[in-house]
Amino acid sequence: MNRFDLLNKVQNILKDNLVICNIGLPSQELYKISDQPNFFYMLGSMGLSSSIGLGLALSQNKHVISIDGDGSVLMNMNTLATIGNRAPSNYTLLIIDNGSYGSTGDQRTFTDEKTSLKDVALGAGCKNVIECSGEETINALNKAIDDKDNSYVIISKINSGNVKIDPIPLNPITIRDRFRKFIGKVKYL
């Protein structure tokens, strides 16, 4: 299973939640599978999906899923400490760990060598950390969303590989405003 297969599998869960989706191929693939106003596609700032989702979860009550990658988490690893200490129960970080920098040509990341993001997350103070296969990710996500007392970090171990895809045609303000409208914060659209 690669990232596109996994996003296909979990799309129905994503549709019912606020989603912050990582820059590059993850956002492009999700857009192709099913575009929704409650999906915030990152067009820049690699590494910050987990942080944007955390700020959003701290600011309103709907459940937030940050879709991140192993390469991106490695770039902003302090985020796991902040999540371990501050994440509210309406927050789930889904790390799609394919051991490669998919958007830049599938170069190997350190999770394909010695680094375990599960161990890093646990050491950073995250209490509920699930490392699972692509197939098990639906159950892990449902568990995280159903638990009203705890936040979760899910590390979904899948294969690398991408599908041929186009850039997202939406402009950033459209992405921003329809997302805020969905939450009920924009009245003028």
Partner 1 sequence: MKISKKIIDNLKKGGVDFYLSVPCKLLANMIDILENDKDVYYSAVPREEEGMGICAGAYLGNKFPCIMMQNTGIGNSVNAIVSLLQLYQMPVVFLISYRGTPGEPVGAQGGMAKITEDILQTLRIPMLHCSSEKELDKISTFSKHAKVVESPVAILCDFNLMKDDK
**Residue ranges binding partner 1 (CB under 8 A):** 20, 40, 42-45, 47-60, 64, 76, 78-79, 81-82, 86, 172-173, 175-176, 179-180, 183, 185
Decide whether 40 or 101 has the Cβ nearer to partner 1. Answer: 40
The nearest distance, CB 2 to partner 1, in angstroms, is 26
The nearest distance, CB 177 to partner 1, in angstroms, is 9
The nearest distance, CB 141 to partner 1, in angstroms, is 19
List, in order, residues 6 or more apart from 189 with CB less than 8 Å away: 177, 178, 181
Q: Radius of gyration (Cα) for the chain, nearest Å? A: 15
Q: End-to-end CA distance of the chain: give it in Å, rounded.
A: 39
Decide whether 79 or 160 has the Cβ nearer to partner 1. Answer: 79
- Distance (Å, rounded) from C-alpha 117 to C-alpha 109? 12
Decide whether 80 or 158 has the Cβ nearer to partner 1. Answer: 80
The nearest distance, CB 41 to partner 1, in angstroms, is 10
Phi, psi for 63 (deg, rounded to 5):
-75, 140
Decide whether 47 or 134 has the Cβ nearer to partner 1. Answer: 47
Can you say whether the dihedral through the CA atoms of 75, 81, 86, 88 is positive or negative?
positive
